[in-house]
């Protein structure tokens, strides 16, 4: 049994990931605004505080991150930075802060998304951020010490999110959060590193 931290565990995807992991592992569920344990992953000091409180773990999963959807020609710098600060640096902050607390042979599993490979109109922020995250994982996999692995899951749009995002994803076949969660199991329980696990495409 491993001790796994799931950041974003109160969201749709995070709940599914935590549920699947609980079958075999001790799961520490972290929310942003809800739950007994919370963290603002945009605040590096807050992430450091969290891991000092939790102590040693065997794995960290991040199922977090906001990006801005809208026309590039009308996008402000602040709107573009939303994804850079939240989804990109939020997850990078977690890796940097948690690294000293991850046991030898442990793992990180981050989250990108289908727009890294399939850009859409009004999705340039998401495409930029998702590709940057995948680049971070590929590079970090070469440097993480003590046999620690790092992978990233790139799901297509979730069935549960179609009420909100359907207009952006016409023609995309959604997948359930439960199906996407299986890719996180492959990362946490497997042996690979530097991988992008694509789900639903």
**What tens digit of pLDDT does each residue of 115-135 get?**
999 999 999 999 999 999 999
Domain boundaries, the chain: 3-199
CATH number of the structural domain 3-199? 3.40.50.720
Report the distance separating Cα 132 and Cα 170, nearest Å.
25
Per-residue model confidence (pLDDT) at position 32: 87
Q: What is the pLDDT of residue 85?
A: 97
What pLDDT, on a 0 to 100 scale, did the predictor assign at position 160? 97
Question: What is the per-residue pLDDT for 176?
Answer: 97
Tens digit of each residue's pLDDT (9 = 90 or more) over 36-70: 899 999 999 999 999 999 999 999 999 999 999 99
Tokens in use for 61? Answer: 């999963």
For the record, the structure tokens of 85 come out as 């600060």
Q: What pLDDT is attached to residue 36?
A: 84
Residues of the chain whose pLDDT is less than 50? none
For residue 131, what are the contacts with CB-CB under 8 A and spacing of at least 6?
112, 116
């Amino acid at each position: 049994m491993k001790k796994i931290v799931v950041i974003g565990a109160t969201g749709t995807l995070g709940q599914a990931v935590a549920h699947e992991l609980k079958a075999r592992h001790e799961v520490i569920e972290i929310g942003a605004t809800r739950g007994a344990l919370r963290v603002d992953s945009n605040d590096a000091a807050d992430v450091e505080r969290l891991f000092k409180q939790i102590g040693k773990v065997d794995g960290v999963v991040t199922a977090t991150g906001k990006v801005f959807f809208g026309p590039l020609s009308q996008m402000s710098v602040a709107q573009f930075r939303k994804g850079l600060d939240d989804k990109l640096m939020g997850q990078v902050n977690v890796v940097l802060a948690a690294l000293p607390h991850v046991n030898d042979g442990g793992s990180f599993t981050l989250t990108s998304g289908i727009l890294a490979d399939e850009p859409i109109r009004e999705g340039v922020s998401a495409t930029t951020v998702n590709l940057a995250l995948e680049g971070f994982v590929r590079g970090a996999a070469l440097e993480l010490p003590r046999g620690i692995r790092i992978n990233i899951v790139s799901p297509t749009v979730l069935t549960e999110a179609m009420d909100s995002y359907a207009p952006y994803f016409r023609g995309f076949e959604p997948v359930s959060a439960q199906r996407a969660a299986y890719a996180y199991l492959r990362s946490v329980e497997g042996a690979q590193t530097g991988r992008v696990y694509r789900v639903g495409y």
